[in-house]
C-alpha cells in the first residue's frame, strides 16, 4: 500500500512476483535486511508441492457491486467497477502477496486503491505520443515474458499449467499486458521532467553514508540472550574481541557465536551493503573503522557488535542514477497526488467491504 500503484513499473513488478513462495530470511539485528526471497528464474524449476497451482488462487473481491457501477468520476473520464476489478486481478497475478492483502482490506483502503488507479489512468492518458506508446507496449510485453518464465519455473515448465493458472484467475495475456502498458505510460509521463542535471544535483547533496557501500563482518552479542543485562553481554563481547585479536577466525567465531540470524550463515558478513540502512551506531562505526581492524564492542539497541570493515567505497553518480530516478519519480507522483489529483476527481462511489473473516 505504501508504494503508489502508479509507480509499480514493469521492472518493479518483475522482481516483486512470487515473494511469498520462498523461505523468509531471519531478522537482521544490525540492519533493515533486504528481501532475500528469490523468485524462480527463467528456465529453473523450483521445488514446490504438486498442487502448486493451488497457491495462486483467483482473487476473492472484498466487496460486491454491479460491474457497470461507476466507482470514481473525474474530469474527462470515470472508473467502472469492471475496470477496477480487472486491475485488482492483475495485481493479484503480478504480486500474490498484495493480492492476499486486498482480499481483507476495508472500505477506506479500497478507496486508496481506486484513487491511485484513477491517478494512473489520468497520467497514462497524457502519454499521447507514438514513441511513448511503443516503448510502453514493448516493455510490458518483455516483462510479461519474464514473469511467465518465473511462473513456468514453479510449474515444472508446463505451458498448460500456466494457461490453467491464467484461466483460474480469470485473466489472459492481453489483459495483463494492457494493465502494464497503462502503468508504463503513467511512469513515462512522470519521467519527462526528470533529467540528469536534476539528478546530479540531488546526488551532490547526499551525505557520505547515503552513497557508501561496505562489506562488514560482525558478531552480535544481544541483550535479549543475556537476560537484558548489558554488563553480561559486554563481558561476552570483550572475550570475543580478545580471541579475534589473538588471531582466531572471524567467520568461524561469528557462525558459532552471533545472535544475528540474518548473518549467521555467512560468517557474520553483510557484503556490499548500503551503509545508510544500518542503525546509527553501527552505521557510524562502518564509516569510521579502518579497514580490517577489529573494533571494540559497539553498543546498539540490540546489543554489542564486534565489527570488521572488509571493504568500503562510495557509489558513483552512474551507479546511483536508477535509484535517484526512482526517488524523483516518487516525488513527482507525490506532487501530482497532493496538488492535482483531488481537484480532478469529482465523485467517489466506493462499495462497502465485507467483514474480515
Percent of the chain topping pLDDT 90: 69
User: CA–CA separation, 144 vs 13, rounded Å?
Assistant: 10
pLDDT digits (tens, 9 = 90+) for 335-350: 998 899 999 999 999 9
For residues 203 and 210, give the distance between their C-alpha atoms in angstroms, rounded to a whole number.
9
Phi-psi region of 207 (alpha: psi -120 to 50; beta: other; left: phi over 0): beta
**Distance (Å, rounded) from C-alpha 260 to C-alpha 254?**
9
**Residue with C-alpha cell 569510521?**
288
Question: Quick one: pLDDT band at residue 232, thresholds 50, 70, 90?
Answer: very high
Task: Indicate the range of 25-29, 60-64, 145-149, 268-272 predicted with least confidence.
Answer: 25-29
pTM of the model: 0.70
Over residues 91-104, the pLDDT tens digits come to 899 888 888 889 99
Residue pair 304/220 in contact (Cβ under 8 Å)? The answer is yes
Distances (CA, A) of 134 to 117, 127, 130, 154, 211: 22, 11, 6, 31, 35
- Specify the 3-state DSSP secondary structure of 47: coil
d(CA 248, CA 219): 13
Strand-strand pairing, 345-348 and 303-314: unpaired
Mean pLDDT of 246-267: 96
Question: What are the tens digits of pLDDT across the range 180-220?
Answer: 999 889 989 988 889 999 999 999 999 999 999 999 999 99
**What does the block give as the cell for 297?**
564492542
> Sign of dihedral through CA atoms 190, 193, 194, 195?
positive
| Residue 287 pLDDT | 97
Report the C-alpha gap between 161 and 155 in whole angstroms.
6
State yes or no: pLDDT of 322 exceeds 60: yes
**CA dist., res. 187 & res. 8, Å (int):** 9
Task: Supply the mean pLDDT for the chain.
Answer: 86
Residues pairing with 313 in the sheet: 213
So where are the chain's domains?
5-192+322-348, 208-314
Pairwise CA distance, residues 152 & 164, whole Å: 12
Q: Which residue has the cell 513488478?
A: 13
Burial of 339 (0-12, 13-18, 19+ CB in 10 A): exposed
* Region of residue 229 (left: phi > 0; alpha: psi -120 to 50; beta: else): beta
223-238 mean pLDDT: 94
Phi, psi of 65 (to 5 degrees): -160, 150
Report pLDDT digits (tens) over 12-42.
Answer: 443 344 433 433 223 333 333 333 333 344 4
CB-based contact 184:140 (threshold 8 Å): yes
Give the C-alpha distances (Å, rounded to integers) separating 73 from 52, 86, 202, 211, 343.
40, 18, 37, 44, 11
Q: Is the pLDDT of residue 221 over 90?
A: yes
pLDDT of residue 87: 93
CA distance 56 to 352: 26
Classify domain 208-314 at the CATH topology level: Chitinase A; domain 3 (3.10.50)
Range in 20-24, 44-48, 178-182, 283-287 the model is least confident about? 20-24
pLDDT band at 5 (very low <50, low <70, confident <90, very high): very low
Nearest CA to 68 among 60, 78, 77, 54?
Answer: 78
Q: Which pLDDT value is given to residue 327?
A: 87
Amino acid at each position: 500500500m505504501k508504494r503508489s500503484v502508479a509507480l509499480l513499473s514493469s521492472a518493479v513488478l518483475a522482481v516483486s512476483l512470487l515473494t511469498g513462495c520462498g523461505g523468509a530470511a531471519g531478522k537482521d539485528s544490525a540492519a533493515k535486511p533486504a528481501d532475500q526471497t528469490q523468485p524462480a528464474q527463467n528456465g529453473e524449476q523450483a521445488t514446490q508441492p504438486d498442487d502448486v497451482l493451488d497457491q495462486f488462487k483467483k482473487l476473492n473481491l472484498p466487496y460486491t457491486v454491479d460491474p457497470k457501477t461507476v466507482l470514481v468520476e473525474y474530469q474527462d473520464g470515470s472508473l467502472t467497477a469492471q475496470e477496477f476489478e480487472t486491475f485488482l486481478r492483475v495485481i493479484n497475478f503480478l504480486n500474490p502477496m498484495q493480492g492476499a492483502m486486498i482480499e481483507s482490506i476495508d472500505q477506506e483502503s479500497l478507496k486508496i486503491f481506486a484513487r491511485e488507479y484513477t491517478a494512473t489512468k489520468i497520467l497514462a492518458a497524457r502519454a499521447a505520443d507514438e514513441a511513448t506508446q511503443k516503448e510502453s507496449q514493448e516493455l510490458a510485453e518483455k516483462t510479461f515474458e519474464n514473469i511467465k518464465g518465473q511462473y513456468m519455473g514453479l510449474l515444472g515448465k508446463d505451458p498448460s499449467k500456466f494457461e490453467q493458472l491464467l484461466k483460474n484467475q480469470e485473466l489472459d495475456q492481453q489483459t495483463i499486458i494492457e494493465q502494464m502498458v497503462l502503468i508504463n505510460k503513467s511512469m513515462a509521463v512522470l519521467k519527462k521532467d526528470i533529467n540528469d542535471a536534476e539528478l546530479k544535483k540531488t546526488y551532490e547533496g547526499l551525505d557520505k553514508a547515503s552513497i557508501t557501500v561496505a562489506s562488514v563482518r560482525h558478531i552480535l552479542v544481544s541483550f535479549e540472550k543475556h537476560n537484558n543485562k548489558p554488563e553480561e553481554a559486554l563481558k561476552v563481547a570483550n572475550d570475543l574481541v580478545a580471541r579475534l585479536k589473538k588471531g582466531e577466525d572471524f567467520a568461524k567465531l561469528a557462525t558459532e557465536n552471533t545472535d544475528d540470524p540474518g548473518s549467521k550463515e555467512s560468517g557474520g558478513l553483510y557484503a556490499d551493503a548500503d551503509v545508510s540502512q544500518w542503525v546509527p551506531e553501527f552505521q557510524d562505526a562502518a564509516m569510521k573503522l579502518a579497514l580490517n581492524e577489529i573494533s571494540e564492542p559497539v553498543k546498539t539497541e540490540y546489543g554489542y557488535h564486534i565489527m570488521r570493515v572488509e571493504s568500503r567505497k562510495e557509489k558513483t553518480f552512474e551507479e546511483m542514477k536508477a535509484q535517484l530516478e526512482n526517488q524523483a519519480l516518487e516525488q513527482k507522483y507525490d506532487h501530482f497526488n497532493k496538488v492535482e489529483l483531488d481537484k480532478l476527481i469529482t465523485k467517489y462511489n466506493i462499495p462497502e467491504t465485507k467483514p474480515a473473516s
